[in-house]
Structure 1
Amino acid sequence: MIKELQSFITKISLVLVVVLGISLLSWSYLNWRQAQNIINPDRSISFSATGQVFAKPDIAKLNFSVITQGKEAEVVQTENNTKTQKVIDFIKSSGVQPEDIQTINYSLNPQYDYSWCRQPKEDQFISCPPKIIGYELTQTVAVKIRDFDKINTIIGGLSEHGVNQISNISFEIDDEEVYKNQARIKALNIIEKRAKLISSQTDIKLGRILNVTESSNDSRYKNYLTQPVMAPTAEVASSAPIETGTNEINVNLIVTYEIK
């Protein structure tokens, strides 16, 4: 009996020693990691700047629509296609290349009559079942104009050739990457100057670049015809010159340096 009790106590003691040893090792490892973080922490500093470049746009974009209505769908389509082709021929004759002309919408929709009627022998009004009374076709074409000397001539001639609606006129740069690179260089120069200033005026010594992040702000100039409007007459359009303005290209950079 006494031997069994001694054996049991011995086993319990061994278990306690093992548990205590594991706890001591864990505590020692945790303290070692904390000491490492204090001696060699992950130290860094970030600088941000925006590079800004202004450039004249070299492309004018616009959408025009031809809208026709009639009782028979086939007649409406024929009339609309003829008018639209007339406008496209006019645009091509003005120097716009075929690859800069694209149909972006072709919608033929029935027109319904929802008028009220009186039921026979009943003194009440009901909504009559909708009845197709005609069709409306809207064909929208997107155009790029590269010769800015012809913008007013083209826009002024659209209504004359059958256009009902003009929308989304904007002035853009065909290849913005060239100007974005210039903006990037400006932003990097600003950051470099700030980093040198901080380093020279403080005890902070900068090391290698750890990270660079970028975001751009596309700021295109759009004139007063951005929203869909009915096409003006040729006389009104010719007396309202379109101004191209200047595009602003911004690139935002954040550069993170290592602190030695």
Structure 2
Amino acid sequence: MSVQRSQTLVVTGTGSVTGKPDLVTIQLGIITHAEQLADAQAENTTRSQSVISRLAMLDVQENDIQTSSYTVSPQYDYIDGQQRFRDYEVHHQLRVTSRAVSSIGSIIDAAVQSGATEVFSLQFGIEQITDLYEQALSKAVENAKAHAQALATAAEVVLNHVPVTIQEVLQSEAVPFAVQMGKMAAAPRIEPGTLEIRATVTVMYSYR
């Protein structure tokens, strides 16, 4: 076994392809304050429903709007070292997914104008990403094979081109593009560009 181990080499291969985003996800926040909890909740509900109704007019499907977080917390001021109650804060976060990638600026503007107080995350994606990822995976294997052959040539040994093992290195397929926005005078212009889909493999080869 030790002799066989000494006649193997391990290389890492990477591959990537690009694709055009056809999906975008944004995180919206609706924050309200009131001295009475019921009032803060009622205003938040009104604002949230206004946002949802407005997005529906832009063809955002109801099942593509989900509550990702809902928190209620008392707020305090500290005066002369003493804690004094100020009001209640209700924070409702919505996760919105849209396939109208080219209209995302208008969607953000509509959400803010209809009651959203935060737009704190934006992420582009590709809905059917499996085929692209498999292409990147194939390129990663070929890249690993090229590395192994270069090493074998440099070491003046003969590489067995049938791998001993191939291991996929799992990783995130897309990196979120985060933005911070407040009230806007006009709909922002957001360019989705292209996404890079990456794959990495670790391959063990034997040689003689």
Normalised by the length of structure 1, the TM-score is 0.70
Instruction: Name the SS of the counterpart of 1:163 in structure 2.
Output: coil
Change (3 A) 1:110 1:197: closer
- Separation of aligned partners in 1, 2:138 and 2:77: 63
The structure whose residues are more often helix, as a share, is 1
Report which structure shows greater RCO (CA 8 Å, sep ≥6): 2
CA shift at 1:69, angstroms?
1.1
What is the root-mean-square deviation of aligned Cα atoms in Å? 2.5
- Report Cα offsets for 1:61-101 as digits up to 9, x if no partner: 11111111112111111111011011011112211112211
What residue in structure 1 maps to residue 30 of structure 2?
A: 66
Change (3 A) 1:71 1:84: same
From 38, 43, 47, the counterpart of 2:11: 47
5+ residue gaps in structure 1?
1-35, 117-126
What residue in structure 1 maps to residue 189 of structure 2?
A: 241
**For the Cα contact (< 8 Å) 2:11–2:203, is it kept in 1?**
yes
> When the two structures are aligned, how many residues end up with a matched partner?
206
- Separation of aligned partners in 2, 1:41 and 1:109: 63
CA shift at 1:220, angstroms?
3.3
What residue in structure 1 maps to residue 98 of structure 2?
A: 145
Q: Which deviates more from structure 2 when the two are superposed, residues 169-178 or residues 81-90?
A: 169-178
- Separation of aligned partners in 2, 1:192 and 1:133: 65
5+ residue gaps in structure 2?
none
CA shift at 1:249, angstroms?
1.6
Question: Is 1:84 aligned with 2:41?
Answer: no
Percent identical residues: 25
Rg larger in 1 or in 2? 1
Counterpart AA for 1:148: V
Change (3 A) 1:81 1:205: closer
What residue in structure 2 maps to residue 104 of structure 1?
A: 68
Matches within 5 A, 1:1-260: 41-42=4-5, 43-116=7-80, 127-128=81-82, 130-193=83-146, 195=148, 202-206=156-160, 208-218=162-172, 220=174, 222-223=176-177, 226-230=178-182, 232-233=183-184, 235-236=185-186, 238=187, 240-260=188-208
